[in-house]
Structure 1
Amino acid sequence: MDHSADPHTRWTSLDDAHIQHKDVQETLGLIEDDLWVAAACADRLVDDVNLQRSLLDLGIQRTNKAVERSKQAQITEGTAGTGDDSGHTSAQNTLRTYFQRVPTDAKLCYLRVLLLERLDRLNTFVEVCKSLPARDDGDEIDAEWEDDPWGAEEVASSTSQHRPIDSPIPLSEFLVDDLLEIACFFATQEYFDALRTLFDYHTSSIWPSRFALLDHVPLHAHPVDFRDLLPAYNPDAEAESSREDKQWRADAEWVFRPDVRSVLHILDFIEETSVDNPSTPSHARIHSQPLSLLELVDWYKDRVMRVMTSTGLVDVALATIQHGTALAVTGLDELAEELSLFSRLIYDTTQSEEFDDEWTFSQWQRLLPGEIVSAYLSHTTSANVAQDIRHIVMPYLFVLESRAERARKPDSELPTRLLYQYVLSSPLHILAPIMEASKPTLPAAQRLIRNDEDMVRLALASLYGSESRGAWPTMSQVFECLPAWDVTSEGDDKHDEAEAMFTSFKSFLTLSTGSAACSSADLYIFFRPLPISSLSRALDVLDVHLEAGEILGRWGVSPPLQWFLHHYNDDVEQRSLANKLVRRQGSSRADDKDQHKWESVLVDMLKLTETSESGIRGVFGSLSPREVSSIFFAGLLSTGKFDIARHFLVYQRSRLAFEDDAVEDLCLNASREFYDNSSSGNYKFGDMKLAYDCLRVPNTSERLVAEREFIEATSRLCSFNILSRSGLPITPIEIRLTKDRLLLISRVLSSNPDSYRHVDVILELLWKLGFRGDVVAEVKTLAMLADTALQAEDFERARELNERMVQTVLNLRAADPSGAEDPVVQQASEVCWVACFQLGRQPEFDDSDAKLALLGRALELCPPDKLHDVLLSWRRLEKEDVETRRDRLASRTSTARTRKASALNGGLSLQERLRNIQIPSTPLINAEDAVDLASRTFSRVASNFPFSVTGGRHAATPSSSSSDYQGAFDQAQASRMLQKGMGWLLGADE
C-alpha cells in the first residue's frame, strides 16, 4: 500500500477481504469529513466481528456532532420537550426545516440509525454464535481415542479456548439480510437458542410473524426444546400473552424517536423498513395483535394434527398439548384424551411380531367404540387378555361413559355392552381366560364380568356359536368357570323345560336367521331373556353336550356344539353321525389293541343314547340301542375287520342289542356295499374279496350261499372280458344292475365263440347267477349253446345240446303230467321245439335221420297252431330223404352195371375214363355272394321260428302256401336276428 497517497484513495483501494484494524484507524480515521467516513463505514461489510465493530464504532462516533447539532436546533425552537400533539408537530416541522437547510446532518442522522441497527445486529450475532452448536473439525481428535476418559477434560478445555465463532450465516449477510428469513432458517434447523435470542432482542420485528416462525419448526421437534417460544394465554387479559423486548442500549437514542424517523422518512433519507424493521414475506402469517383463547386452541389442535399426520409421533403431539395446557391454553382436554388413548394402542397393547398394523390418528378418530376395543385386543394372547382388558380396555370404557355424561347423554350400560360385544366375538382360547378372570369366587372388584347371569349367557352364546370341532378341553374349562345354581325341579318338569328350550331354539333359528346356524351374537339374543331357572337347565344341557363332544372328538367325528341343539330330535342326522363315527375307525390293523378300541367305540355309542341324571337325552337319544348296535356292527363290517366282527358275535354278543336274525341282513348289506364299490370282479383281492369274506362272518344260510355264488359268477364273468355298452370292460355294479341276467350268458357266448364247448361251465355260471333249479333258464341256456354251435357249424354238438334240452323238457313234463297249462312248462317247451325246428331244417346239416328226429321232437313239443308248419318241414325233409335214398340206390345200381360192362369190355384206358367223367359247372362265388348266400340260408332257417319272444318281439307265423316259408320273415328281420345273436332266446327287447 502506498502510504503517501491520499487517505480517501487508500481506503477506496482496499477490498473487504484485506482490511485490517490499523487501516480503520490509520487510514479512515485520518479523514476529517464525517459524512464521508460514516458513509464509508456503512458501506463496508466484513465477516470479522472485531473489525466490523471497529467500523461501526468509528461511523457512529462521526455522527455524534450532527446529532448534537440537530438536537440543539429542536431545542432552540422550544418544542423538544412538549408532549402534546401540537408540540410534536412543531418539533417535526422545525427538524424538517433544519434538515432541509443542513442536509449533511440529515444524512449523518440517517447513517447513525443504520449503523446503530447494525451494531445491534452485531451484538445479536455474537450471542447467537454462543448458542449455536460447535463446529465438528473431524480430524482434530483421533477416532481411536474419542472415548478416552482421561483426555476428555483436556480436549474440552482446548476446544473451548480456541474454538472460533461459528455461524451458518456469515456476519456480512447477517447484518443486512431479512431478519424474519434468518429467524425462519434458525427454526428450520432447530437452532432454538439462536431463535430465542432473536425473539429477545428483536421482539418488535419478529413477534407479528411468530406463528410463521413456529410453522417452520420441524413437526418432529419435541416441544420441550422450544416451550418458551410457544404461544401462551393470559387469563387476566383474556388474550395471548405478549413478549417483552430486550434492548442492547439502556438509553434510547434520539435518532430512534418517532418524530425523527418520520422526518427522515419524509425527506427520503430513511425507509419505513430499515435493517431492524424488515419487510414481511408474502407467505408469512401476520398477527400483530394477541390471539384469543379459541384461536390459540385452534392453533394447538392444528399443530397436533399436523404432527400426527406427518410423523405419527404421539409423544410429541401429547407434549405439545401438555405445554399448551401449562401455558393456560384450555380446551385441549378432549384431544389430549384421544391422543392418550391412541398412545395406548401404539405403545401399551400387545403387538404381533411382524407389527403389520400401521395406525394413523385419522383412522383412529374414524373408529367406532367397538372397533377401538377390538383394535386394543387385536393381538392379545390368552396369557395377556385379562390384563389387557383390565388396564387398557376398561379405562377406555370409563372414558366413554364420562364423555356420555358430559354430553348429558348418560349410558351406564355402555361399558358392559362393548365388553360383551368383544367377548361374543372372541375365539375360544381368548374366551377361556376371560371367564377365568370372571369366576364368581373372585372378589367383585377383580372380576371382568361381574353379573353371574350375564356370564352364563355369554358363555352359552359363545360356546354354541363357535364353529370349533376340537376345542373340547377349552370348552370344558369355560364350563368349569360358570356359577352353579341350586334350582330344584321335578323330573318331568326338567324334561319339559329341556324340550321347550330345544323347541324354542329351533323356532328362533327359523325366524331370526332362516338357516341352520347362527353367530354368537344372535344366540346371545336367544339366551338373554331366559330366567335363572332356564339358564340352570341350559347348563345341564351344556354339560351333556360337552361330554358327548369329548366322546365324539375322541373318535374324530365331533361336530360343532350348535349341532347338538339343532339336531336334538333329528334321527336322520343322528344316524348319519353314528355311521360316520364307526366308519372312521377302520385304518388300523386288526390286533388286540384294535379289538379293545372297537369295544370302546360300542360302549361310547351306547352311552350317547342314554339319558343323563338331569333328564337330558344323549346326542343319539332319538336312536334305540338296537339301531345303534346295528349301525356299529355294519360299520365294523364296512371296515373289513371280520375277525373282530366274529369275535363280537361269539364273545361279546350280549353287548349287541339286535337279534340274531339281523346279523345275516347286516352282513349281506355290507357285502353288497363292497361289491358295488369294487372296480374288479376278481374275488381273490380288493373290495370283491372283502365282499366274499364278509359273508363268512355269520352262520351259513341259503341267502349267504346264493350271494357267495353270485360273487363267484361275477368273477367268472369278468374273466371272459365282456365289454359294456361304452366299450369298456364290464364292472361288477353293471352285472348286479342287469335286470335279465341271461343276457350275461348270451354276451359270454357271443364274445367267446368256443364257449359252447364248455357246457358244464356255462351251466354252472347260470346256476351261480341265481338260476339254480330254474328249468326255463337252463333250457334257454342250452338253446343258446345250441344256437352258438349251429352258427359255428358244429352240427353234431348242436344236436347233442338239443337232445339234452329235449330230455330236460320231457323230464319236466313227466314230473307234472297235469301241468300242461303250467306257464313254466309251456315256456320251456316253446324254447325247446323252436331250437329243434331250427336245427332240423338246417340245409347244411346232412344227417337226415337226426334232422327228422329233431323235427319229430318239434312236432311233439310245439303248440297245436304250429303243427302244420312243422309237419310241412318234416314232410319236405322226408321227401328229400326218400329222393336222396332213391338217387343213391340208382347211383349204386348204375355203378354196378358200369363195373360189370367194364369188366366185360376188358376195361378202358385212363384217358378214356377221364374223358367220360362229367363235372358239373359250378360258378365262382365272391365275398358278396357268400354273404348273400349266408343271409338267404339263415332266412330259410329262421323263417319258421313259431314263438314270440317275451321282450315284445312280434311272432312270425310261416305261411302254408310257400314251400320255402319265405313269407315268415322278411330279409331285414333275418339280418337283425343274425346280428343280435341269441336275443330271441332271452326275450330281450333288443
Structure 2
Amino acid sequence: MTSNDLCQKWLDLPNDELDTSTINDVLGAITDDLWVVAAVADRIINNPRPLYDLLAVALERSENTVERLRNSFASQDSEEIIASGGHDPSPVYADDDIASYFRENPSHARICLLRSVLLDRKDRVDTFVEMFGKNVAAHGESETSADSDDDPWLDTEDAAINQPSSGTAPPLSLSTFLSQRLVDSACLLAAKESFGPLQVLFKRHGPSIWPCRLTILACVPAHVSPSYYQEILPKLALSQDEEHQSPIEAWRPVLDWSEFPIVQAALGTSGYHVTVSQGQLSTPSIDETPLPMSSQELASWYRQRIQNILDSTGMVDVALSMSQHATSQGIPGLDELGEELSLLSRLVYDAQAAAEDVPEEDWTLEQWKNMDSLAVVRAMLALSTPETLVADIRKFVLPYLFVLESRAERAGAPNPNISSQLLHDFVLGAPLEMVARIFEESKPTLPPGQRLIADNEDMARLALACLYGSDSIDEWHIMSQIFECLPAWDGASGNEDSDAVEMTLTSLGMYVTPTTARPKCTPSDLFLFFRPLPLSSLSRALDILDTHLESAEILSRWDAPAPLRWLLQSGNDNSSQRARAVRMARRIGIGTNRALHSQDDWEWLLEDMLRLCRTNDNGLRSAFGLLSRTEILSIFLSGLLSTGQLNVAKSLLRSKKSALSIDDQVVEEICLISSREFYDNASSGNYKFGDMKLAYDCLSIPSRSETVIREQEFIEATSRITSFNVESRPGVPLSPIEIRLTKDRLSLVSRILSSNSDAYKFQEVILELVDKLGFRGHAVPRVKTLAMMADTALQAEDFAQAFAAANTMIDTVSQLCSSPDISQEESNDAKEVCWVSCFQLGRQTEFPDAPKRLRLLGHALEFCPADRLPEILAAWRRLEKEEITRYLEGKGKGKGVTLPGRSGQGLFSSTTATRMRQPGALAPSLASRLQNIHLPTSPLVMADSAAIADTFSRVASKFPFSKTRPQANRAQSPQGDGQRHARGEDAGWPSLDREEVSAQASRALQRGIGWLIGADE
C-alpha cells in the first residue's frame, strides 16, 4: 500500500477498533514522522490502553527530531538550568535563534509543539488512571482481554477516598479530561464531591491549578462536611505566618526539551500557540491567587466560607466543622465564632431537634448574635418537658452561661452573677410545672454543687414572685410542691409584731392590684418587690403564703377558684370576700369538681366556709377573714336554698348538732330573698312545679309571719293569673317577673276581665285574687274591682251580674264610710268609683228592671259630689216618668204595674202617700221642693251625656275599667249565676218605693243641694 493509502486507512479507522497490533501495522508503515505525530495528537479516545500505545508511537517518532534540536541549541553547561525551567543570566543561546530556526523549519517546530502536547497528555492519562483506577499498566501495557469484566474502571477496590463505587462511572470522561483545562476539571470534581481524584490532581498538577484553588474550593457544595476535603483546604504555615503550599509530585521530574519555557516562548514567537494546537476547550477566565495568603486573609476566607454555608444551607453543624478545622490549623481569630457556632449547634440539633413543626425561618448566625441572653436560654428550653428540664438545663443552659462568664472575663468586665440572674429570669417566666422541677433540684437538703438555685433567700423570693404572679387557678398541687421545697428559718419571724404583718399584707395587696400604669403585676415585678425584704419579712411572707395556699385549695375544691394574688387583693376588701363566699355557697361552677347530693356534703361545705373566716394561730386571716360567722352562715343558707335543696336546709336548721344556727328573723329574710329569686327566674306562674314551686316551698322553711303569708298569697295569685292565660303581647303569656314588676296590680285584674269573657261571673274568685295580690284588708281596691266587674258585665249585657257586683260594691262602700279607721281620701275614692258605676248601670235603658235601676240611681245620688246631682236627678226623674206612664197605661187597661220587692206592691200604690209620711220618709216640705225642681228635658239629656263622659274620664285614672267589649259579647245574653253570689235576682230586693228614694235623696240634698230648695230644713 502506498503512503497515502495508509494515511487514509488510519483516518477511516474507528476508535473502538484500535489496538496495539493495528496501531503498529498502520502507523509503523507510514514514514512521515510529522504526519504520524499529528495524527496521534488529533485522535483523543476514552480508553487509556490504546491511548498509551498511540502516545508511545508518537513520542518515539518525535524523539529523534527533538534530540537533534536539543543538541544543536543547548550546551552542556546550561543543560541543568534550562531543564529546570530557569533562565541563564548569560545564556549560551537566545530564544530568537530558536524562533528563527522554527520559522525556517516549520515541520520541526510542529513536531516540537506536538511532542510537548503529547507529553502533557500522557501525564494527564497517568493522572486520570491514578484518580479513577489502578489496573492499567503505567507504560501502556494493556490486558489481552477487552471484555467489560476486565475493565479497570469497574474495579475501584483500591481507589482513594470518595471514589465512585464499583460499577459507577467517573464524574468526567477521559476525553473531556484531556481536552479541557485542568482548572475546569478540578472545578467539576469539586462540584461532584470527588475529593480523592481532586487531591490527586492537586498533587500531580499543582503548578497549574494551585493559583485557582479558591475558585475550585468555591465549587464544593456548601452542605458537604469539610472533613471530606480537609486535605485540600487552605492551611497555615505557622513558621512563616502565611498559607502552606503542599509539595508537588510531578510525573516527570525533568522536563523534556520541547517543554522548556524558552522553547515554548520561541514557538509562540514563531506563530505556534500551544492552546490552539492542543485543541483545548474555551472557558471563561478564572480568578487566580498565585501568592500564598496571609494568616489574616486565611481567617477572612474561612469566615466568608462559614457565612456562605449558613446562608445557603443553614447547616450549623457544617459551619461548625469548618470553624473547628480552621482552628485546628492555627487560623487566628475564629475562637469566638467557634463558640457561637457550637452553642447555636446545640440549640438547633439538640435542644430543638424534637420539634414537630419546622420553623418558618431557619436559624441564622446573625439572628443568634442579635438575641439577648434570656431569649437564648428560653429557646434552648423551649421544647423541654418537666421530665427533661433539669437535664436540658445542665446540658444546654449551664454551658452557655459558662461561655457568657468567660466572655465577660475576657472583655475585662467579669460578672459572677450573670448565671444566677439569667436562671432567675427564666424561672420567673416559666410555667409552674417547670418551676417546680427547678425547685426540686434546688432543695436545701441537696449538696450545694448539685443545686440549680443555691441561695435560700433567692429561692423564697422566686417562689413568692412566681406563685403570687401566676394566673393559674387549678395547679394547687404544683404550688404546694414548690412551697414544700422552700427553706424554713426557725424563729426568723418571731419578733415581728401584728402591725408589721398587717403592713406587709397591705403593701402586698396594693402592689398586686392592677393600675393604669401596670395593668398586671407579673412575677418579675413581684420579684423586685421581694428583693429588698430582709430574712424576717421573707419568713413571715412564707407563713402568709402557707395560709393562702390552704385557703386557695378550699376555694378550688368548691368551684370558687381564684388566683393566689386575689387573696392579697381582697385582704381588706369586705365586698370582694363576700362575693367569693356567695360564689362558693351558690356553687356557680358546679360540676367542675363534684356536685353536692347529700347532707354530709353540705355540712362539709359549711365547715370549710367557717374555716375560711377564722384567724389561725399565727394571727393570719384566711380568705373570708373580714366576714363574721353570722354572715358566713347567712351566705351558706342562701346558697343552699338557691340550689333547691330545701329538705337539706330544713334538716340543718332543725338539727341541734348542725353548725347552721341562725336567728329566726334572719332565716325569714333569707328565705324571702331566695323565694323571690326563684319567682323572678320562673318561666311559668304555676306554683305546682318548677322554679315557682321552689319559690312557694321556700316560704315553708321559716316560721309563718304576716310577711311570709303575704308572699305566699302573692305566689298563689300569680298562679291564678297564669291560669287565666293572660298575655303580655299576642301569643306570649304574661311571665311572673312581669307580674311582680307591674306597679298597679289592679291592672292585672282588669287584664283578666278583658281577656276572659266569663271571668266577671266569678266574683268571689276575683275578689280573693285581689286580696292575695296584697290588698287584703283594703276596701278601696275591692270597690274598684267590683266596679270593673260590673262594667265588664254591663259590656256583656249581663245586667244581673252587673247589678250583683254593684250591690256588693254599695254595701262595701257603706261599711267603709261608717268605719272610723278609713281616711277621707280613701272614702272619697271609694264613693267616686261607686256612684259612677251605679250611675252607669242605672241609666242603661237596656236594663229592664226599673226598680233596680232606680235603686242604683238613688245610691249614685247618695255618693256623688254636689256638682253631679243635676245630671243624676235628671236621669232619675226621667226613669220615674217612664214608670208613671207605664203605670197609668197599665191601670187604664185594668192592669196594675208592680215592681219586685218585699211588699210586692207597685211603685205608686194606694199606700204610697201614707208611706211617704211615715218616719224615715222624705219630709213634706223637702219632698215638695224635690218634686218642684224643674230642669229642661233636652238640656238635661245633653248635660247628662257630657257629665258622664267627664266623670268617667276622671275616675278612669283611679281604676282601670274595661271600656269596651268585643261586639260578639253584646250579642250574648248571659244570665247571672246565682249559685256563685251571696246576692242575686232570686234573693229578693226591697221595692224601690218613694220613701226609700226620698230618704236617699234627702241624704244627697243634705250634702250639697240645699241651695236648690232653701236652707230652712
TM category, shorter: 0.7 to 0.9
- Contact 1:809/1:829 (8 A) holds in 2: yes
- Contact 2:510/2:569 (8 A) holds in 1: no
Which residue of the partner structure matches residue 872 of structure 1? 874
Write the letter of the residue equivalent to 2:122.
Answer: L
Which residue of the partner structure matches residue 925 of structure 2? none
Match of 1:985 among 954, 959, 971: 959
- Contact 1:722/1:730 (8 A) holds in 2: yes
Q: 1:354 to 1:503 in 2, by over 3 A?
A: same
Aligned-pair CA distance for 1:456 = 1.2
Q: Does 1:394 align with 2:406?
A: no
Q: Where do 1:673-684 residues align within 5 Å?
A: 673-684=677-688
Q: Where do 1:319-398 residues align within 5 Å?
A: 319-349=321-351, 352=354, 354-357=356-359, 359-362=362-365, 363-398=367-402
Q: Does 1:670 align with 2:674?
A: yes
- Contact 1:494/1:615 (8 A) holds in 2: no
Which residue of the partner structure matches residue 773 of structure 1? 777
Which residue of the partner structure matches residue 106 of structure 1? 109
Q: SS where residue 221 of structure 1 aligns?
A: coil
Q: Does 1:462 align with 2:466?
A: yes
Match of 2:237 among 234, 241, 247: 234
Deviations 1:775-831 (A, max 9, x none): 111122122212222222222222222222222222333443xx7863333332332
Write the letter of the residue equivalent to 2:940.
Answer: D
Match of 2:728 among 724, 729, 746: 724
Q: Where do 1:488-637 residues align within 5 Å?
A: 488=492, 493-509=496-512, 514=517, 517-584=520-587, 594-637=598-641
Q: SS where residue 724 of structure 1 aligns?
A: strand
Write the letter of the residue equivalent to 1:55.
Answer: L
Match of 2:313 among 307, 311, 314: 311
Write the letter of the residue equivalent to 1:286.
Answer: E
Q: SS where residue 567 of structure 1 aligns?
A: helix
Which residue of the partner structure matches residue 187 of structure 1? 190
Q: Does 1:52 align with 2:51?
A: yes
Which residue of the partner structure matches residue 285 of structure 1? 287
Q: SS where residue 966 of structure 1 aligns?
A: helix
Q: Gaps (5+ residues) in structure 1?
A: 142-151, 896-958
The share of aligned pairs that are identical, in percent, is 44
Q: 1:657 to 1:868 in 2, by over 3 A?
A: same
Q: SS where residue 179 of structure 2 aligns?
A: coil
Moved more, 39-48 or 616-625: 39-48
Moved more, 549-558 or 512-521: 512-521
Which residue of the partner structure matches residue 34 of structure 2? 35
Q: SS where residue 753 of structure 2 aligns?
A: helix
Q: Does 1:425 align with 2:429?
A: yes
Aligned-pair CA distance for 1:167 = 4.0
- Contact 1:79/1:90 (8 A) holds in 2: no
Deviations 1:51-82 (A, max 9, x none): 22222222222222322322233247997688
How many residues align? The count is 901
- Contact 1:795/1:845 (8 A) holds in 2: yes
Which residue of the partner structure matches residue 830 of structure 1? 832
- Contact 2:868/2:947 (8 A) holds in 1: no
Query: Matches of 2:294 and 2:276 in 1, distance apart?
Result: 28
Q: 1:517 to 1:633 in 2, by over 3 A?
A: farther
Which residue of the partner structure matches residue 910 of structure 1? none
Which residue of the partner structure matches residue 20 of structure 2? 21
- Contact 1:749/1:756 (8 A) holds in 2: yes
Aligned-pair CA distance for 1:166 = 6.2
Q: So what's the TM-score if we normalise by structure 1?
A: 0.84
Aligned-pair CA distance for 1:386 = 1.4
Q: Where do 1:112-123 residues align within 5 Å?
A: 112-123=115-126
Q: 1:438 to 1:875 in 2, by over 3 A?
A: same
Query: Matches of 2:31 and 2:234 in 1, distance apart?
Result: 51
- Contact 2:560/2:589 (8 A) holds in 1: no
Q: 1:80 to 1:439 in 2, by over 3 A?
A: closer
Deviations 1:67-100 (A, max 9, x none): 2322233247997688886623843233334334
Query: Matches of 2:167 and 2:370 in 1, distance apart?
Result: 55
Write the letter of the residue equivalent to 2:707.
Answer: R
Aligned-pair CA distance for 1:968 = 6.3
Q: 1:106 to 1:972 in 2, by over 3 A?
A: farther
Write the letter of the residue equivalent to 2:298.
Answer: L
Match of 1:964 among 940, 958, 964: 940
Moved more, 410-419 or 118-127: 410-419
Q: 1:749 to 1:59 in 2, by over 3 A?
A: same
Q: SS where residue 598 of structure 2 aligns?
A: helix
Aligned-pair CA distance for 1:533 = 2.1
Q: SS where residue 109 of structure 1 aligns?
A: helix
Moved more, 459-468 or 833-842: 833-842
- Contact 2:642/2:674 (8 A) holds in 1: yes
Write the letter of the residue equivalent to 1:265.
Answer: G
Query: Matches of 2:345 and 2:369 in 1, distance apart?
Result: 13
- Contact 1:37/1:62 (8 A) holds in 2: yes
Q: 1:961 to 1:883 in 2, by over 3 A?
A: closer
Q: SS where residue 753 of structure 1 aligns?
A: coil
Q: Where do 1:77-116 residues align within 5 Å?
A: 87-88=90-91, 90-116=93-119
Query: Matches of 2:895 and 2:782 in 1, distance apart?
Result: 49
Which residue of the partner structure matches residue 739 of structure 1? 743
Aligned-pair CA distance for 1:154 = 14
Aligned-pair CA distance for 1:574 = 1.1
Q: Where do 1:914-925 residues align within 5 Å?
A: none
Which residue of the partner structure matches residue 268 of structure 1? 271
Deviations 1:193-242 (A, max 9, x none): 21111111111111111111112222232322221111101122221111
Deviations 1:95-128 (A, max 9, x none): 3343344443333222221121111112112212
Query: Matches of 1:419 and 1:272 in 2, distance apart?
Result: 68
Moved more, 835-844 or 367-376: 835-844
Q: 1:196 to 1:654 in 2, by over 3 A?
A: closer
- Contact 1:679/1:732 (8 A) holds in 2: yes
Q: 1:510 to 1:747 in 2, by over 3 A?
A: same
Q: SS where residue 454 of structure 1 aligns?
A: helix
Q: Does 1:124 align with 2:124?
A: no
Which residue of the partner structure matches residue 1013 of structure 2? none
Q: 1:860 to 1:54 in 2, by over 3 A?
A: closer
Moved more, 615-624 or 592-601: 592-601
Which residue of the partner structure matches residue 797 of structure 1? 801
Query: Matches of 2:754 and 2:961 in 1, distance apart?
Result: 16
- Contact 1:117/1:275 (8 A) holds in 2: no
Which residue of the partner structure matches residue 704 of structure 1? 708
Query: Matches of 2:754 and 2:534 in 1, distance apart?
Result: 79
- Contact 1:627/1:658 (8 A) holds in 2: no
Q: So what's the TM-score if we normalise by structure 2?
A: 0.82
Which residue of the partner structure matches residue 66 of structure 1? 65
Deviations 1:236-286 (A, max 9, x none): 22211112221212333222222222112111224378869x799436331
- Contact 2:189/2:197 (8 A) holds in 1: yes
Query: Matches of 2:531 and 2:798 in 1, distance apart?
Result: 90
Query: Matches of 1:791 and 1:490 in 2, distance apart?
Result: 88
Aligned-pair CA distance for 1:459 = 0.9
Query: Matches of 2:847 and 2:856 in 1, distance apart?
Result: 12
Q: Does 1:885 align with 2:887?
A: yes
Q: 1:964 to 1:842 in 2, by over 3 A?
A: farther
- Contact 1:309/1:360 (8 A) holds in 2: no
Query: Matches of 1:118 and 1:273 in 2, distance apart?
Result: 15
Q: Gaps (5+ residues) in structure 2?
A: 137-145, 898-934, 965-1017
Aligned-pair CA distance for 1:628 = 0.9
- Contact 1:125/1:171 (8 A) holds in 2: yes
